[in-house]
């Protein structure tokens, strides 16, 4: 579904991503783990078009995303839940969800999807007329995920969805990610919470200062000594 090939991203003189290649297969949960500053967000932004890569290709079902206008990427079935949620604080919960479906024309399906989001996140339904900026961190994370779901994506990118959440909420968010995946959405998940991420991932990659240093199934990497030392506190 998603093929990243020899991706290089620079900020001025700094090369943040130094030629990485990885793949996300249809129906999988793939996770990219790495320390602060490894280049996880940069990779996500390159895929969703928020940063223009210096070189390399990003194929979504055969289309090179580096060659299309950034705002059309979501219309091709790729939605991103950005780092730090980035909900529209001055809009209501419902308006945020409506914005998630901004490019869509299928009114009836949009309504059905909104109902599904409210079923998945009942708390959002209770707060549908509340301004997003007044939601708690966890609720904002749910809203950001709901907003991405409103694009009816084939593949969803999540950038550190567990950041700053209580352990209980982290569990909730991870089980919802699995649920979304079981319903047929492919997932690319970036996490610092490597333990949780590896536990649900079919496939995993380790990113270190702009390079992929290890890859394997989630279970393989969870057992790997180097991963345990560096990311699992063992």
Partner 1 sequence: MAFLSYLINGLSLGSVYAIIALGYTMVYGIAKMLNFAHGDIMMVGAFVAFFALNSFGLPVIVSVVLSMLATTVLGVVIERLAYKPLRQATSLSVLITAIGVSYFLQNGAQLLWSSSTKVFPSIIGNGSLKLFGGQLQISYLTLVTIFVCVAVMVCLTLFINKTKTGMAMRACSEDKGAATLMGINVNSIISITFAIGSGIAALAAVLLCATYPTLSPTLGSMPGIKAFTAAVFGGIGSIPGAFLGGLLLGVIEILSKAYVSTQLSDAIVFAVLIIVLLIKPTGLLGKKLSEKV
Ligand X SMILES: Nc1ncnc2c1ncn2[C@@H]1O[C@H](COP(=O)(O)OP(=O)(O)OP(=O)(O)O)[C@@H](O)[C@H]1O
Considering the complex, what minimum distance in angstroms separates the CB of residue 207 from ligand X?
7
Whose CA is closest to 97, among 175, 155, 150, 23? 150
**Nearer CB in complex with ligand X: 38/158:** 38
- Ordered DSSP codes for 139-206: HHHHHHHHHHHTT--SEEEEE-TTTT--HHHHHHHHHHHHHHHHTT-EEEEEES-HHHHHHH-SEEEE
The CA–CA distances, whole Å, from 27 to 149, 181, 230 equal 15, 7, 29
Q: Which positions lie near partner 1, rule CB under 8 A?
A: 48-50, 69-72, 74-75, 79-80, 82, 86-91, 95, 98-100, 102-103, 131, 147, 151
Considering the complex, what minimum distance in angstroms separates the CB of residue 11 from ligand X?
3
**Nearer CB in complex with ligand X: 97/144:** 144
**Nearer CB in complex with partner 1: 99/200:** 99
Using DSSP bridges, classify how beta strands 29-33 and 186-191 pair: parallel, antiparallel or unpaired: parallel
Please identify which residue in 14, 107, 184, 225 interacts with ligand X, judged by CB under 6 A: 14
Please identify which residue in 31, 42, 186, 193 interacts with ligand X, judged by CB under 6 A: 42
Contacting positions for Mg ion (CB under 5 A) = 40-41, 83
């Amino acid at each position: 579904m998603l093929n990243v090939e020899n991706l290089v991203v620079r900020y001025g003189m700094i090369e943040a991503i130094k030629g990485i290649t990885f793949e996300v297969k249809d129906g999988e949960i793939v996770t990219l783990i790495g320390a602060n500053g490894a280049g996880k967000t940069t990779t996500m932004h390159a895929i969703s078009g928020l940063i223009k890569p210096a070189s390399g290709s990003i194929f979504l079902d055969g289309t090179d995303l580096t060659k299309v206008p950034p705002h059309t990427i979501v219309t091709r079935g790729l939605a991103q839940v950005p780092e730090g949620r980035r909900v529209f604080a001055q809009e209501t919960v419902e308006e945020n969800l409506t914005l998630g479906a901004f490019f869509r024309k299928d009114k009836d399906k949009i309504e059905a999807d909104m109902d599904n989001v409210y079923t998945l996140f009942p708390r959002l339904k209770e707060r549908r007329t509340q301004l997003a900026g007044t939601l708690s961190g966890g609720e904002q994370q749910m809203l950001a995920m709901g907003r991405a779901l409103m694009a009816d994506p084939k593949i969803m990118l999540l950038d550190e969805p567990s950041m700053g959440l209580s352990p209980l909420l982290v569990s909730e968010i991870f089980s919802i990610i699995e649920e979304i995946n079981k319903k047929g959405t492919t997932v690319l998940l970036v996490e610092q919470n490597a333990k949780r991420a590896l536990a649900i991932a079919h496939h995993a990659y380790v990113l270190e200062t702009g390079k992929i240093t290890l890859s394997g199934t989630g279970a393989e990497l969870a057992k790997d000594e180097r991963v345990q030392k560096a990311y699992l506190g063992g």
